[in-house]
Amino acid sequence: MLDFVDEVLVPASQGRGIRVREGQLLDVIDVEGQQVGDLVAYFEQDPSEYLSPTHTVSCNASVLLRTGSQVFSNHRNPVFTIVRDDVEKHDIIVPCCDHERFFRDYGLTDHKHCLANLEQARDLMGLDFDLRGEQAWNVFMHNRVTDDGSVITDPAAHGAGSTITLEAHRDLVVLLSACPQDLSPCNNFDCTPMLMRVREK
C-alpha cells in the first residue's frame, strides 16, 4: 500500500505541477543533491491569490525560513507551514530565472529558464493563469546577503534525498521548476531532477 497520495517527478531542467489539499503534506525532494527548485503555489479556487515571497518576508519580519516558519500569500494568508527542513537554506529575495536574466547576464537568447518551466508545468495541468518570476520561492537556493548588501550565490551543499515538507493551509496548485541554471553556482553547475510527493498528515 502506498504511503502517499500522489507523486510527480520533475525532470532536470523542466517543470511539473501537483495538487495539494488543505491539511495535506507536500514533500519537495532533491533526488540527487545540490539542486534548486523554483516553487509557486496558487489557491485552487482563486488563482489571484498565490504564494508571495515579499509578503512572506513582511509577515515573518525575516528573510530566513526554517522548520516552523509559515509562508504567506499576497493577501497575507498562510499558504504553508514548514514542518520538516533538511537544508534550512532557501532564497526568498530574488525572482526565478527568465529569458531576460540569461540575455542580460550571459548574452544568451535560447537558454532554458525557470519561468518557462513553470509555464510548462501550468500548461501540462491544463490551467490558464498568469505567472510572474517574482512569485517564485527558490527552495534550497543558497543565497546570502553580505554586510554591504550584496547578494552572493553559494553552491548548494545539501545531499541526495534532502527534503522540505510543507503543510498546506488551503487547496493549492503547486508548480515546481527543477532550475536549469548551469552557469552560476546555485546548482553546482549540474542540473538534476526533483520530486514532489503529497501525503496525508
pLDDT digits 0-9 by tens, 135-173: 999 999 999 989 999 999 998 889 999 999 999 999 999
User: Which grid coordinates are listed for 135?
Assistant: 512569485
Report the percentage of the chain scoring pLDDT > 70. Answer: 99
pLDDT at 1 over 70: no
Are residues 200 and 27 in contact, defined by beta-carbon separation less than 8 angstroms? no
pLDDT band at 36 (very low <50, low <70, confident <90, very high): very high
State the average pLDDT over residues 172-193.
Answer: 94
- The answer to whether the pTM exceeds 0.85 is yes
State the average pLDDT over residues 176-197.
Answer: 94
Q: What was the pLDDT predicted at 2? A: 62
The structural domain count of the chain equals 1
- Helix boundaries (H) for the chain: 53-60, 99-106, 114-124
Residue 29 forms part of a structural domain: yes
Altogether, the residues listed in the chain come to a count of 201
Nearest to 33 by CA among 197, 183, 198, 193: 193
Residue 1 forms part of a structural domain: no
Residue 164 forms part of a structural domain: yes
Residue 74 forms part of a structural domain: yes
Name residue, grid cell 546548482: 187
Mean pLDDT of the chain: 94
Range of the domain at 59: 6-199
Residue 22 forms part of a structural domain: yes
